[in-house]
Amino acid sequence: MWFHNLQELRHSASLANKVFIQRDYSEGTTCKFQTKFPSELETRIERSLFEDTVKTLNNYYAEAEKIGGQSYLEGCLACATAYLIFLCMETRYEKVLKKIAKYIQEQNEKIYAPRGLLITDPIERGMRVIEISIYEDRGSSGSSSSSSSVSGSTTR
C-alpha cells in the first residue's frame, strides 16, 4: 500500500488523471450513475468494490427522490405554509445528501485513498458525474510514462 490515508495522499502523490462516471438516464431523470467499470481503474481497484460504491450511491439518491408518503406529507405541509417551512426545516433530500457525503468520506478513507484514488461528491459537480481522481506516487523515481490523458487535462 503506497498511501495509507488522505494525508499521505496529499503529501506524496500527484494527480495523474481523472475518470468521470456519467449519469444513467435509462429510468428517467432520477439521479442514477452508470455502474460500468472504467478501464482506467482496472489496475487500481477491484471491480466489485467500485460497483458496490456506485450502487450504494444510487440507492441513496433513490431514497432521497422517492415519491411516497413521507415526501407527500412534506410537500403538502410546505404548500400549506406557503413554503416558508423550507426556511427553518431541512428537507429529506438534504438529510440524505449529508449521509452521502459521510459515506463518500468513509469510502475514500477506507478503500480509495489506500489505492491512490479519490472520489469527489457528485453534488460538487452538479450531480452530473462521479469524478474519481487517480494519483501517482510523486516521490518514486521511474520512467516518465505519464498517461496521455494527463496532457489532455492540462490547462488550455
Partner 1 sequence: MKNDYQQIDPKTLPMPAPSHPPAPRGGDQEERQPQEQRRKARRKWQVFPGRNRFFCDGRIILARKSGVLPLTLGLILVTSGLFFVFDCPFLVQHLTMCVPVIGGVLFVFVLITLLQTTLTDPGILPRATPDEAADIEKQIDESRNGGYQSPPRTREVEINGQVVKLKYCPTCKMFRPPRTSHCRVCDNCVERFDHHCPWVGNCVGKRNYRFFYFFIVSLSFHTAFIFGCVTTHLALMIQEHETSFSHMDLELVVCFFSVWSIVGLSGFHTYLVASNRTTNEDIKGSWSGKSGGEPVTNPYSHRNICKNCCSILCGPMPPSLIDRRGFLPEDECVQTGDGGDIELPVLTTKNEINMVGKHPCLPLHPAV
56 or 78: whose CB is closer to partner 1? 78
Angle, CA 60 vertex, CA 107 and CA 82 arms, to 5°: 130
Q: Which residues contact 34 (CB under 8 A, 6 or more apart)?
A: 21, 22, 23, 24, 54
Q: Which of residues 101-130 bind partner 1 (CB under 8 A)?
A: 101-102, 105, 109, 115-116, 118, 120-121, 123-129
| Shortest Å, Cβ 55 to partner 1 | 20
CB of 59 to partner 1, least distance (A): 15
Strands of the sheet with 129-137, listed across from one edge: 13-22, 129-137, 117-120
C-alpha cell at 120: 469527489
Q: Among positive and negative, which fits the CA dihedral 41, 13, 56, 26?
A: negative
Question: Which positions from 13 to 42 touch partner 1 by CB under 8 A, shown as an x/- string?
Answer: -xxx-x-x--x-xxxxx-------------
Please say which residue, 56 or 62, places its beta carbon nearer to partner 1.
Answer: 62
State yes or no: residue 4 binds partner 1 (CB under 8 A).
no
With binding defined as CB under 8 A, does residue 75 bind partner 1?
yes
Q: Does 67 bind partner 1 (CB under 8 A)?
A: yes
Q: What is the 3-state secondary structure (H, E, C) of 16-40?
A: EEEEEEEECCCCCCCCCECCCCCHH
**DSSP conformational letter for 110:** I
Q: Which listed residue (7, 36, 47, 55) binds partner 1 by CB under 8 A? A: 7
Shortest Å, Cβ 7 to partner 1: 6
Of 55 and 105, CB closest to partner 1: 105
